[in-house]
Amino acid sequence: MTKRDVLLDRMERIGESVAAHEGTLMLLALGSIGQETERLDEYSDLDFFLIVEDGQKARFIDRLDWLEVEPLHYQFQNTRDGHKIMYHDGIYGEFAVFELHELATIAYTPGRVVWRRDEALEVFATPHLAISREAAAYYFEEALTNLYVGLLRERRGETLAGFELIQVAAVQNVLKAMGEQGDPFNPTRRVESRHPKMISFLLCGVLGYGKSGVAAAAILRFIEARYEVNATMKREIERLLET
């Protein structure tokens, strides 16, 4: 079996296991194992939500017997809602458990229903709250403030903190401003395949540790070519670049 086949089979078997437990309502596959199974490859993993009845959340977070369709060799509760896991054969996954009423307050992308107890639950396969697409101006302004504060940290000698703001935060905000929303939760995902025109920007804006000044100058030029930058903010960024 290919990795794709294994992942799809594992997801279905988890669904069968979930169906056999009381208190479960729906298993929702997300990401490449969800509605975009054509993206599954050797580097994919499992990403899913388990929806349960009110009062049942703790049971399915504290006891992972419902996931033992194959031996679990690793588990780490990374949030109050779920775990990161790995099976004995190296299949990795991340999941969260939510009670039905919680779905109206969380952000998630459209999913694929692997199993559901009630036909009426189909409505929850579509997200009720997704990350909104703000105007490009909002993200460009965020990027500019990332550059300014990042350069302040850089000049103070906080090289790593400056790198994070300039070459990570500012770059991500520029990607959002340019509409690179292949993954609404992380604009860096699949940007090379979905939006190859942005690679030239990345080559100039992500240069590595100790090179944030040069990267900041390139990011500022990129923004200026597409957005009217506030004169005072531009002056202060350029002043720091010249220091």
**Which CATH code is given to the segment(s) 3-125?**
3.30.460.10
Give the tens place of pLDDT for each residue, 108-142: 667 899 999 975 455 455 554 343 445 788 899 99
Q: Residue written as tokens 């703000």? A: 134
Q: Is 58 or 118 the better-scoring residue by pLDDT?
A: 58
Residue 241 burial (CB count, 10 A): 15
pTM score of the predicted model: 0.65
pLDDT score, position 128: 44
pLDDT score, position 20: 97
pLDDT score, position 148: 93
Q: Is 186 or 236 the better-scoring residue by pLDDT?
A: 236
The whole-chain average pLDDT of the chain stands at 87
pLDDT score, position 181: 53
Domain ranges (residues) in the chain: 3-125, 136-242
| Phi/psi of residue 46, nearest 5 degrees | -95, 135
Label residue 184 by pLDDT band (50, 70, 90): low
Give the tens place of pLDDT for each residue, 38-48: 889 888 899 99
Give the tens place of pLDDT for each residue, 132-183: 445 788 899 999 999 999 999 999 999 999 999 999 999 989 988 887 555 5
Percent of the chain clearing pLDDT 90 (strictly above): 66
> CB-based contacts of 106: which residues, under 8 Å, 6+ apart?
98, 129
pLDDT value at 228 more than 60: yes
pLDDT score, position 9: 97
